[in-house]
Amino acid sequence: MVASSEITIQLKSYARSIGFSLVGIACAEKADTYGEFRDWLEQQFHGSMGYMQRRADAYESPAGVMPDSVSVVMLGVNYDNLAEENVEPGQGKIARYARGAHDYHDILRDKLYLLAQELKRLVPGCRTRGTVDTAPLLERDFARKAGLGWIGKNTMLINKHQGSYLFLASLLTDAELVVDTPHETSHCGTCTRCLQACPTEAFVKPYVLDARRCISYLTIEQRHEPTDESLRPYLSDWIFGCDICQEVCPWNRRNLAASMTEFKDREDLEQLDLVMLLSLSEEEFHERFKNTPMMRPGRAALLRNAAMVAGNQKLVTALPALFALMADEHESELLREAATWAIEQINSAFEKK
């Protein structure tokens, strides 16, 4: 079914009215970077994220998500919070995207539902499916095809006016909407700040990330395995995610506020007290972080991260909590091993003195 240009204009206007910073439309065709994605998988750069390998074929085109899809409405939401990045001793850092009071998946799915209902009002009988980074869709590829920006050397989508602190979402439909001109140029130029700033050297080369060395992967996705000891010092203060390659990007100098009020920071999530974290029971963990992205790694992995940060900071005040975790036979081996390592780091600082 073919939609008029007026319908496309109305749909975009509605998307902006409900809080989306960016909106563009691409054809539901083969993803331009699918070949590079398969090469990336073959080199095992996805680490333990096996779901990518299992669904590799589905990433080839939006048909892998919604058969008979014709158009992809790509949407971007700025989540920058303008927060200062100073961390006091005894605190751990959280990536900006995770500091809101609610999980962004839930917020964006609600917005996508509203947008889908509006499209069905404009094009009766059309089918839709909304996705928020959990479906096998190469979102950054289609965001570029929809004119929202370019894929930077740090593999993030960058928009000239909005920077890269962006949540991406998509609405697939069998309605034929008017497509936008793809963003064909890159504005990274000769800049390599993001590549040079990465403490773990996770970028194999520009535009290629080895997730196995990425701090975000190590603190969120690698939930059941201990972190490579050679990488632990480079986690520095990060207990959940990492923003380093975005913090140094010149295109993020504008300091824009989040475009949806739902993403306003919870003050208690800007930084987290390490001793408090290390003392959380399973029940307390769920109560404190329910409905937030912090739930993804689970208690054991998040406390593992807190233990490593305490070790990096040589945090003496964390020793009682670390000893308690190390000695508790009911705790996971993952957490007990991290607590033991942290204690060794703290003790070694005194031995050197």
CA distance 291 to 315: 30
> What torsion do the CA atoms of 152, 154, 156, 161 make, to the nearest 10 degrees?
-50
Averaged pLDDT, 260-276 = 78
Per-residue pLDDT band for 62 (boundaries 50, 70, 90) equals very high
Under 8 Å CB-to-CB from 150, ≥6 apart: which residues? 144, 157, 158, 183, 185, 186, 187, 188
CA distance 296 to 349: 33
119-147: b (≥16 Cβ within 10 Å) or e: beebbeebbbbbbbeebbbbbbbbbbbbb
Averaged pLDDT, 246-263 = 80
More confident residue, 93 or 3: 93
Which residue numbers are catalytic? 133
Burial class (CB in 10 A: 0-12, 13-18, 19+), 60: middle
CA 125 from centre of chain: 34
Q: What is the side-by-side strand order in the sheet with 91-94?
A: 238-240, 91-94, 271-273
Give per-residue pLDDT as tens, 322-352.
999 999 999 999 999 999 999 999 998 777 6
What is the CB-side half-sphere exposure of residue 30 using CA atoms within 13 A? Answer: 7
Q: How many CB atoms lie under 10 A from the CB of residue 254?
A: 13
Burial class (CB in 10 A: 0-12, 13-18, 19+), 89: exposed
What is the CB-side half-sphere exposure of residue 149 using CA atoms within 13 A? Answer: 28
Per-residue pLDDT band for 226 (boundaries 50, 70, 90) equals very high
Residue 264 has pLDDT above 80, yes or no: no
| Two tokens, residue 314 | 């040589």
CA distance 293 to 108: 13
Which CB contacts under 8 angstroms, 24+ apart, belong to 199-202?
199/234, 199/236, 199/244, 200/231, 200/234
Determine the pLDDT at residue 265.
Answer: 65
| Two tokens, residue 328 | 């508790």
Give per-residue pLDDT as tens, 13-38.
999 999 999 999 999 999 999 999 99
DSSP 277: H
Average confidence score pLDDT of the chain: 93
Give per-residue pLDDT as tens, 116-168.
999 999 999 999 999 999 999 999 999 999 999 999 999 999 999 999 999 99
Please, what is the end-to-end C-alpha distance for the chain in angstroms? 75
Determine the pLDDT at residue 291.
Answer: 86
Per-residue pLDDT band for 353 (boundaries 50, 70, 90) equals low
In 3D, which of 108, 49, 34 has the Cα closest to residue 74? 108
Q: Residue 209 is which amino acid?
A: L
Query: Taking a C-beta distance cutoff of 8 angstroms, is the pair 219, 160 a contact?
Result: no
* Beta strand 157-158 pairing with 71-78: unpaired
